[in-house]
Amino acid sequence: MTKTQIAAAFWVILTALNTAKANPLSPMGGVPNGHLYAQLMDQLNFDQWTRVIETLKTNGHIEENNFLLTITSKGEGFFKVLDEIFADIKKNTCPPTTSA
């Protein structure tokens, strides 16, 4: 994986976890590890997934308890940095919406 691919994986995972934490309908405040991997398995093989998750856990960005992944306050800060970096990419790669 390239550094850009790793950063993108971090950003996608942290986006999902940040969204789950903010969602009042999500009483767990996180996402089950297997569910998140199932959504990303066409982008990451299992070995890559495991390394990305372990890196995020080791650096204190996420926590895992009974296979439930949750974002930490440190992870929220890292997410904001990544979100700013990927903002320009999102603007340039997402087609503009048009009204009919």
pLDDT of the residue at 97: 54
pLDDT at position 100 is: 47
**How do beta strands 62-65 and 68-71 pair?**
antiparallel
Query: For 51-63, how does the pLDDT look when each residue is reduced to its tens digit (9 = 90+)?
Result: 999 999 999 999 9
pTM (global) more than 0.75: yes
pLDDT on residue 86: 85
Sorted by where each starts, the structural domains of the chain and their CATH numbers stand as 3-93 (1.10.460.10)
pLDDT digits (tens, 9 = 90+) for 42-97: 999 999 999 999 999 999 999 999 999 999 999 999 999 998 888 877 776 655 55
